Chains A and B, each alone.
Chain A
């Protein structure tokens, strides 16, 4: 570890958004040659602080120093020119352009296709993040899109790379190699800021850890000098035990009748690569079935068919009348950001509704759901866009789970959520199981799948197998290796 002047120093940054004090005199110093983990719950101010550094937001007060000199980046362009890059949680790829074209965007001079492809191939080599330069970005899964975003950020030659929740969507193998790569990148005069709420990631790769809670820095220390438990306590305040709530299993002995059944089902080729073939799958009432898969093995076709959102090409599909669907990408598939909370609740079953909508009643219903599911918003008539990620997911859960569905399909339901919101989602899924519903849960985080599920299936190469053995055995099955 090097000493001396920090590469990036933020001093006493404050920022207010309307009624919300997002940051209160938050300071952060990133030393060259280090990985700096920035921890905190959703809404703690992690992303806001880094958006200020990157020139995407402006602080109300506070000072910033870059490589020893005072600066203030007014736009990401300024930041990139100075050597500071940020990969945001939400991607900004042009779906119809190829990976190479996306990376070339924002460059200068003429576009030369072969040069652009070669550049991506070089970056792939240098980063060890596999992407196909010729694949249109729109055809890539979320994990691959994230890799492209990282490669895009590095194409501008950054010395400091800010990664906002980079492992939230990556399969465990990819996440591990990314973190390992971040470790290697952060050498010499370069550094990485890792925004995360995964304590283990922070402790595994970071040299320094800064914890934000409600916009204030509550802990700033060397990673070696702290523990998972004390970090959790710092993040959550007094209620540190919430962190543990998500990890207690609790198998249910009272399984019910078969609720959903697939027999010899194949999916439409082209929708997903690879497509499903010859899949037989059942889910019984009172159980949580975990779906473990490396992204892009046909697991989303399985979940969409089970949710009744995609038709099977061949085979028999038997689904119950009431299915709750919590999709992976809530901004794209679950919520209309510009509509109000009430309207987003009304969206459930809107296709079948006839006649007139009683909006005052719908609003009252929404307010009831907000209380029951602890959705924190200024009003039931606020736009969904104004909610934090955790509250948006609570709203989705409220809408999907309120009618006591017989089948619950949850695809990455805790993606991007903090510990508290994650624990709540887990609790809701367990409640559904206790009520007798069948729950099918997929997560890129294998530990989450194992912690919650009564039974695990592995999707690999478009086929579905019952999983056997422990964590490592399942990991090998996910990669298609015989255990």
Chain B
């Protein structure tokens, strides 16, 4: 039964992945690039070697996975949290602050991640509260993203700037406060945490009473309130906070596992790409993992393409954007095609 439940979406995702490759090939050819060597570089940079997979693809996929879970959870409850980016930055900031406390390493690291989740939730709270007063969360969360980005910009030039005051970034955190790595790779403990989070959220959504309340609220809030006596505003608030916490954790793990410091470019838009990751996974936490892996591979491969074949990485961003459109368009296109086919048939019939 499980196999059948995933077969359809997985086949759909595979089709989308193939479409992405075809589109990329066309764009490369149009741009006059050496297609075979560019695609080879893409492969080398993503899946081509164990180093590429474990140190680039998986590491890139991790923030996308956690932020993707944040978006999938929120959207599942019809809470349109577009603010994963801001919540992620809030989490990264809190993690750097936590990791800099004068405490033993393991305690510091744990605190850093807890702070990250709390800060992410806290960054979602204003939007969650405003939503109860009728302010659209789509607007408020986007605005909070800009506030977060500019706040980081201020912090790394002011209170949190590194001691030499030469660079707009924070002091690098001690080795003791960093997420442990598998020796010889960039693979850090956070990768495992992210996949565990996906499995845990998948189970919670499927099996727990809370997860069911979330799904019922998203499916029909009026029936959830009327037939289920579900406190819908409360569920929405809880979802918003947990979603923010997951995005915050993504930032905390990125800060303590990859960047080790806070700076403005810490996230290349993970919080926005996460929306695509979640949509491609049809908002199913367990499918967010492969979806994040696909996007992680694309981004890791894009770096390699830029380095080895001189193809701008922005080309891959175009492909990512097209992927989202594709995912959203497939049901619409199917309908249009059917109508057209019927119209042709009818015209053929009338002409006879």
Contacts and interface: CB of A to CB of B under 8 A. Distances in A.
A344 B213 CA distance: 11
Given A58-B342, A74-B339, A336-B223, A347 B228 contact: yes
A81 interface: no
Interface stretch (B44-52, B92-100, B150-158, B204-212): B204-212
What is the interface residue range for chain B against chain A?
Answer: 20 to 34
Given A333-B227, A348-B227, A351-B228, A357 B213 contact: no
Interface string A317-336: 00000000101000011111
Contacts of A327: 226-227
Contacts of B349: 72
Contacts of B130: none
B229 A352 contact: yes
Interface string A333-356: 111111100011011111111111
B226 A325 contact: yes
B222 A333 contact: yes
Interface residues of A, number: 33
16 contacts: A74-B343, A332-B220, A332-B223, A333-B227, A335-B227, A343-B216, A347-B223, A347-B227, A348-B228, A350-B224, A350-B229, A350-B230, A353-B212, A357-B208, A357-B212, A359-B206
Interface string A75-118: 10000000000000000000000000000000000000000000
A357 B214 CA distance: 13
What 5 A-B pairs come out closest when comparing CB atoms? Answer: A351-B229, A336-B219, A350-B228, A336-B220, A353-B209
Contacts of A346: 212
Given A74-B346, A332-B220, A336-B219, A356 B207 contact: yes
Given A339-B216, A347-B216, A350-B228, A355 B208 contact: yes
B interface secondary structure, majority = helix
Nearest to A308: B229
Contact of A332 (B208, B222, B229, B339): B222
A325 B223 CA distance: 11
A365 B86 CA distance: 45
Contacts of A352: 229
Contacts of A349: 228-229
Listed residue (B219, B224, B342) with the most chain A CB atoms within 10 angstroms of its CB? B219
B219 to A, nearest CB: 4
B171 interface: no
A350 B208 contact: no
Contacts, number: 87
B209 A350 contact: yes
Nearest to B339: A74
Interface in B185-237: 206-209, 212-213, 215-216, 219-220, 222-231
Nearest to B207: A356
B222 A351 contact: no
Given A74-B339, A74-B343, A75-B339, A339 B215 contact: yes
Interface in B64-106: none
Nearest to A358: B207
Contacts of B230: 350-351
A335 B222 CA distance: 9
Nearest to A359: B207
Nearest to A362: B212
A348 B350 CA distance: 53
Interface string B333-352: 00000010011001001100
A378 B349 CA distance: 37
A407 to B, nearest CB: 15
